[in-house]
Each structure stands twice: as structure tokens, then as C-alpha cells.
Structure 1
Amino acid sequence: MTRAELVLVLAALASFGFAWSAFLQQQASTHLAGQPGAALSRKGLPGAVRLLGRLVHSPAWFVGWVVNLLAFVVQAAALHLGSIAAVQPLMTTQVLFTIGLSSWTARRWPTIVDWLAGASICGGITMLMMVDGAAPLTGEADRGRVLLVTAAAAGAVAVLVVASRFRPSPALAALLLACAAGVCFAMTAMFMKLTTDDLIDRGVAATARDWVGYALAVSTSIGLALGQLSHAAGPLPWSMSAMNIVNPVVSYISGMIAFGAELPTSPGALAGIAGAAALLILGVIGLVHSPSIGAWSPTDPTPEVSNA
């Protein structure tokens, strides 16, 4: 096996690991909730906190967490052996893996539309990442603009979470929570860049006094919690697709604002962005209208028996 082939295998394994981890954690969430996960939204924050507290003690959820950790290690190995350009596009195949896993547990084959929609989303994300300047978290950040982006992101997350409590359907609740998680993970990438720069340029003591390190911990924790709740609330392919789309889009916008990156203006870059947007829109439309939504949605495997 050549080095390039090994990189492809490792990236595919990591992508499957992330999808499998989300699948296992969704199953654990649904089982512990005692009812379809979307009902948690009506219990508000206390219900969500109680669920997350119980999940920490769930063997099934812990296995999912271990799988997620192993997937990170495998992805790191792939990035060590290959380039970001070779590895990151393959990570978008998480969407396809979640379609397969969700359909497998429902004991039904995904439709052709499901596969085409998933492939369209993967292609759109990949095309966006390949556009020159699509990952503009380079150079020196303007701290004032970082605060502006952080405040805007916090506001967006709050609106999405509140909206998820008034959703017309469990699937939409999952979508809104996943979008909120995607915003958090995009902010995590920015804070990670700033914290790393602090450590390298200013040392540990200065890093400990800088607020971005604490913001990194907060954004990561909230993102993980919201991601878990989105998996419990509705169709896994929806939540994974939303997180995979929102993350790079918000990263793109925050990089433009906080790092002063220039908006691509070349015909090739603009065509790439337009093509990516078209593929993402087609993919989302396909998943939204998929006949598999009901089968993908979490159901209670051990419903409570009424005494009425």
C-alpha cells in the first residue's frame, strides 16, 4: 500500500468512526430519555442537563465517546501522513455513513434520492473547502473583531436553541440544534488558532491570562452538548449534515471578519462558491423531502407503560 493509499484509508476510517460515534450516542440518548429525544426540548434546559448527566454514566454513550476519540487519533495520523487538502474532503463522507447507519438500524435500504442528496452535500462542502481562501484563519487577528464575531455567534446560538423549543417537528428541532453546534465548532476552530498562537508566541503564563483559552473550553463544551442533543432529537443524517455545512461556512465568515482575509474575487473562486452553494442546496432539499425521515428519527426502544 502506497503512502497516498494509506492516507485515504485512514481518512475514510476516521470519517466512519465519527459517524459511528454519533450513531451510538444517539441510540444511548434515545434509550435514556425514555421517549423520543425531541420531547426533551419541551422540558427545557433542566431536562437537557439531566439527560447529559445520565449519558456520562451510560456504557453505550461511553463506547461512542471512545470511538470518537479513536477517530480523532486516526484523523491526526492521516493529517500527519498526508495534506489537509487530501484528508479534509474525505471527512465529509460522515454524511453518507450516517445515512447508511440510520437506515441499517431502521432495517430499510436508503433510497437513491438519499444517497444522491448525501453525495451532493459532501461534494458541496468539499468544493467550498477547495476554494482559495476558504479557510482564512491565518495571519494576525483583530481582537476587537474577534469579540464582535464571538458576540454574534453567541447570539446566533441562543436564537437557534430557543427556536428549537418552538419547532413544528422533532426533525426541525434536531436541525436547529445541529446548526447551533456547528456555530460553536466553528468558533472552537478560531479560538484554537488564537490559543495556539498564544502558547507559541507568549508562553503558558500569558495564555492562562488570555480570555480566548477559556472561550475555547466553553465553545467546545457547548458544541458537544448541543451536538448530543441534536442527535437525540431527530434524524441523524440531518444533524450531521447541518453541522458539517454550518461549521465551514461560519469559519469562512469569521475568518473574513476577524482575520481580515480578503473575499475571493477571481472568476474561478466565485464559480467554486456558487457551485458549492448549489450542491449544498440540492442536497438539503433532497434530505428534507426524503421518505426515510420517519425511519431515521429516534424512537423509544423501551417506552414507559401507562398506569392509566
Structure 2
Amino acid sequence: MFGRRSPAARSWRVYCGVGLSGQVTAVVGSLAAALLFAVSAALQQRAAGDALRSAPVEAQRRRRWLPVVAVFGRLVRDRRWLLGWAVNVAGFGLHAVALHFGSITVVQALLLAQLMFAQLLLRRRPGWQDWAGTLTVSGGLGLLLLVRRTVPADPQRVHVPLAVFVVAAGIVGLLGLARVVPRSLGWLRGAVVGGAAGMCFSLTAVFVVLAGADLARGGVAALATDWVLAGLAASTVAGTVLVQDAFAAGPLPIVLTAMSIADPVSSAAIDLLVFDPQTLGVLTLSAYAGVGVVLTIGVVLLVSSPTRKAEARVAAAAAR
């Protein structure tokens, strides 16, 4: 009598096992993707920076919005950049697997680990303010995970166009701001464009989830006839261009910091609009406001740290 389990108990055990397995897969996949993204960023940042510095000033000025476009021909012939691109593709695959098993907010927030991986790759010892800023940002993103700990798996497509419009408007606004940043403040331009790239990556994550839903529902035929495929291609290309421009403009830690913060924050906003709009209310908005305050404090600590100021001075000297 006591040795037999009811069907409900057996179902609960199976559910918990599958759920836990999926969460572990999402976490491991996200962290592995973060490591590959950090390696890719280190390789491509050096290649993009060298290519832009060696390009004629006239060519850069003709493309004031995105100067890196002037040197893309050189980048595709650079072995470092190509290796970084290959590593990035592998990271994108792991990222897609993580998104299949976990929510957008959780997966995108875990990509913050690429900041720590990048510091290890650059062999730089961060100061106390860098650690304080990183821990504060991590704490803010941890609060974000608590607020969005459960998210429905099925997106409400009727809200997708609004989310795309809001994020695209934010990207255009940041690019407009980057256009007026003086050349001597390359680190600031890198941070602004890096933020735009992070927002673009959050759109890519949404399109990956929607594409996966298409494949699960109707296979390749369903995906091929859905506008989501075009959105995925557009956001991927735009994100690639933006991140290369950010790498060429500013130091890697500053660019990655901006990307790593803009991505999960933008993803959380998309989560609310597309996956769970019913939870919008005073309590939810207040929680997000608190997260925003914590993240702002962390960003101020990071940007004003002696390490970041030294990196900014090096970048400014290289731009002269």
C-alpha cells in the first residue's frame, strides 16, 4: 500500500525531473555561450580596432553613423576576425539551446558572465570598485530573475510588433546619440553602440524563440512562411554590425559592460510585452523600478572606476 505511488505523485516527479533538467540545461548552455561570446569578442575587438585605426579618415567620415562599415572588407580577410566569427556561431548555437529550455530573461541575464570571462582573457586584475560594480549589477540582474522567475513558454504574437518597434526605436535613439559623440571619446561611443547592440541581441533572442515554436509546430515549412525568419536575419545582421562598430570604438570591458546590461534589461521588457503581459501592474512596475535603481548604481560604479578611466585614457590616446 505504502510502496505504490499514485498517478498524480508519479506525474509530479516526472514534471519536476523534466523541469529541473531543462533549467540546468538552460543555465549550463547560457554560461557556455557566455564563455564563447567572450572569446569571440576578444578576437574580433582587436581585429576591428586595428582595421579602423588603419583606415583612411575620409572613409570613416563617409560612414559617420557606423564607421566600421568602411573596413568590413578588411575584417572578412582577417584570420582573427574569422576565428572570432566561428566561435561566435558556436556560442549562438548554445544560446539557442538555452533559450529553448529557459526563459529569455534568465538566459540573457546569465550572459553577464562574459564580463568575468573577458577579464580573465585580458589578464587584468580588477579593483575593488570594479568588483563592487559587477556585484551590484549582478545583484540587480538577480532581482530581475526573481521578478521573472516564471514566464509562460508560449509567446503572444499579437504583441510582438509592438515590442519590436519599442526596441528598434531605442536602438535608433542610441545610434543618434553615438553620432554626436566626439571622436576623442571613443570609449563612450563604444558603450553607447554596445548598448544598442545589446538591445538588438534581445530582439534576436525573441526571434529565436519564435522560430523554435514554428519548427516545433509545423517544421521547416512553417518557419519558411513566417515573417519571423526575416526578423531573425535582420536582427542578426544588425547586431553583428553594431557590435563590430562598438568593438572598433571602445575598450572591450566597457563595450561588454554596456551590452551585458542592455541585453537582459531589454529582454525583460520584451518578456513583459510578449510572453506575460497580464502581470503588468503597479507591483510589477515597482519591482522593475527597484531593479533599475540597483543597476544604475552598479553602472555608475563601473564607469567611474579607476580601471575604466585608465581604459578610456588609453582608447582616447589611440584615437588621436
Sort the TM-score into its range (normalised by shorter chain). 0.7 to 0.9
The answer to whether structure 1 residue 279 and structure 2 residue 282 are counterparts is no
- Whole-angstrom distance in 1 between the partners of 2:230 and 2:298: 36
Pick the aligned partner of 1:150 from 150, 158, 164: 164
> What displacement does 1:41 show?
6.8
**1:147-181, CA deviations, whole angstroms, 9 ceiling, x for partnerless residues?**
23223322222221122110142222112111211
Q: 1:17 matched to which residue of 2?
A: 36
The answer to whether structure 1 residue 49 and structure 2 residue 40 are counterparts is no
> What displacement does 1:300 show?
9.9
**1:120-156, CA deviations, whole angstroms, 9 ceiling, x for partnerless residues?**
22232233123235756634321xx322322332222
The answer to whether structure 1 residue 220 and structure 2 residue 228 are counterparts is no
Q: How many residues align?
A: 293
TM-score norm. by structure 1 comes to 0.77
- The runs of 5 or more residues in structure 2 that have no matched partner are 1-20
Pick the aligned partner of 1:27 from 27, 43, 46: 46
Pick the aligned partner of 1:232 from 234, 248, 255: 248
- Whole-angstrom distance in 1 between the partners of 2:306 and 2:267: 32
Pick the aligned partner of 1:254 from 270, 292, 307: 270
Q: 2:14 matched to which residue of 1?
A: none
Q: 1:120 matched to which residue of 2?
A: 136
- Whole-angstrom distance in 2 between the partners of 1:120 and 1:139: 31
Which of the two has greater helix per residue?
2
Q: 1:166 matched to which residue of 2?
A: 180
The answer to whether structure 1 residue 292 and structure 2 residue 307 are counterparts is yes
Q: 1:141 matched to which residue of 2?
A: 157
- Whole-angstrom distance in 2 between the partners of 1:74 and 1:197: 17
- Whole-angstrom distance in 2 between the partners of 1:18 and 1:79: 15
Q: 1:99 to 1:295 in 2, by over 3 A?
A: farther
The answer to whether structure 1 residue 210 and structure 2 residue 230 are counterparts is no
The question of whether the paired residues in 2 share the 8 Å contact of 1:11 and 1:90 is answered with yes
- Whole-angstrom distance in 1 between the partners of 2:166 and 2:89: 30
TM-score norm. by structure 2 comes to 0.74
Compare 57-66 and 252-261 and name the one that shifted more. Answer: 252-261
> What displacement does 1:290 show?
1.6
Q: Which of 1 and 2 has greater Rg? A: 2
CA RMSD of aligned residues (A): 3.9
Identity level (%): 33
**1:5-51, CA deviations, whole angstroms, 9 ceiling, x for partnerless residues?**
99988765543332222112111111111259x99975425742222
The question of whether the paired residues in 1 share the 8 Å contact of 2:151 and 2:276 is answered with no
> What displacement does 1:271 show?
7.8
> 1 or 2 for the larger relative contact order (CA 8 Å, sep ≥6)?
1
- Whole-angstrom distance in 2 between the partners of 1:186 and 1:246: 9
- Whole-angstrom distance in 1 between the partners of 2:252 and 2:231: 28
